[in-house]
Amino acid sequence: MTNYREILRLKSQGYSERNIALAASCSRNTVSEVLQRAEDHGLTWPLSANVTNADLKKILYPPVTDSHKRLPDYNRVRKELMRNGVTKKLLWTEYVNECQLAGDEPLMYSQFCYYIQQDEEKRRATMHINRKPGEHVEVDWAGDPAHFTDSATGEIVNAYVFVGVMPYSQYTYAEAFLDEKQAAWNTAHVHMFRFFGGVPKILVPDNTKTAVVHNKRWEDPQVNRSYHELAEHYGTAIIPARIRHPKDKPSAEGNVGHVST
């Protein structure tokens, strides 16, 4: 959150907006806007110690109400955004069409995104995880295949996309194959190592059959033999993500969504 108290305090001491921006770790435009809004609301330093930055935000940036406009269905939007290829722009277009058919006034795209973000923040619990550069790579197949046309036969052929991501930098490698078999999986890793210029200490795959096999205990997956031999050859370790725990490899999940879209 912007440190509104610090901005007002430094302004009262005669600091320039540029220096205030540096000291408060925000942009110069933010400083200028905060000072203008504070002047409009008659806020001056010193302030009471009980007035927090959260209180100042409510005063300087009161919530915008669009009671006369139809609000989006947050539950539906949240479910749709989990599907590959679905974007907020697409959902807003559908929302506008629904409003027009019902005779309601729709929100502008920026307002639509604002309300969606506010709803997400109510449900989101986040924790910063420290990553080391190049320590591990998250790998997976993209959910939906790409397609290309065979120039000789005119046939539309599926192309299955392998995705590997370095979580620290989000540096991503993607390559398409004609199938998702073991040879393609292993080849993708060899090409990925060459592209990255090295081998990570840890590989974090999904529970695809080209990575793990399941014995009677499905919760205790065993690494695929061929994949394990590849790891031995390159001197890396394989730690599969838990079943139905996509947050074990969030970088791969996020970039798979981008690639699929």
pLDDT tens across the length of the chain (261 residues): 788 889 999 989 899 988 898 888 888 888 998 999 888 888 888 888 888 888 888 888 876 555 568 888 988 898 888 777 788 899 999 999 998 888 888 888 988 988 888 888 777 666 666 778 888 999 998 878 889 998 999 999 999 999 999 988 889 999 999 999 999 999 999 999 999 999 999 999 988 888 888 655 555 668 889 999 999 999 999 988 876 666 667 777 777 777 877
Four-residue CA torsion sign, 182, 186, 191, 192: positive
* The two structure tokens encoding residue 95: 């929302």
Q: Tell me the pLDDT tens digit for each residue of 140-150.
A: 988 788 899 98
- Predicted TM-score (pTM) of the model is 0.55
Structural domains for the chain: 4-60 (no CATH), 74-123 (no CATH), 136-260 (3.30.420.10)
